[in-house]
Amino acid sequence: MPTTRNRVEVLHGVNLDMLGSRDKDVYGDFTLPELEVRIKRFARDLELEAFFFQTNSEGEFVEHLHRLPKIADAAIVNAGAWTHYSRAIADALDVARLPAVEVHLSDVEARDDWRRVSVFDGLVLAKVSGKGPDGYREALETIAAELGVGN
């Protein structure tokens, strides 16, 4: 169990391990490890500690959410396409009961109609979309305020 209220688990879902080879106009030209370096730096600036998890398996994502209360104080969730239809992941996020922020690199509101739906509505503190890597900084700022870190 964390001894301080500053551990943030950043969960990346389906296909996010393919950053760098996906449509660069939509997702940017960085890889997932490069993105995680940026997020770790953003977190450190805010007196938070970022840890990462990525899977292309919906069941593994759910299992990891079940473990979150024992290993984290808050979460950032970029579940990829699962955001728009996985009630199992939404239920697991609800069970975790941690402060969470939903993040999308691309502007999901300006894309396909089906991407405008989020099964995480009502379960997260905020949704950040279309700001690329800087969206993670905004999410971390929201979490820091919620946890009272850096005050």
Residues designated as active site: 27, 104
User: What type of residue sits at position 124?
Assistant: V
| CA 136 distance to own-chain centroid | 8
For residue 2, what are the CA distances in angstroms to 62, 70, 73, 125, 148?
Answer: 21, 8, 8, 21, 15
**Dist CA 47 CA 84 (whole Å):** 31
Contact 40, 94 (CB under 8 A): no
Q: Encode burial over 121-136: b for 16+ CB neighbours within 10 A, e otherwise.
A: eebbeebbbebebebb
Q: How many CB atoms lie within 10 A of CB 26?
A: 10
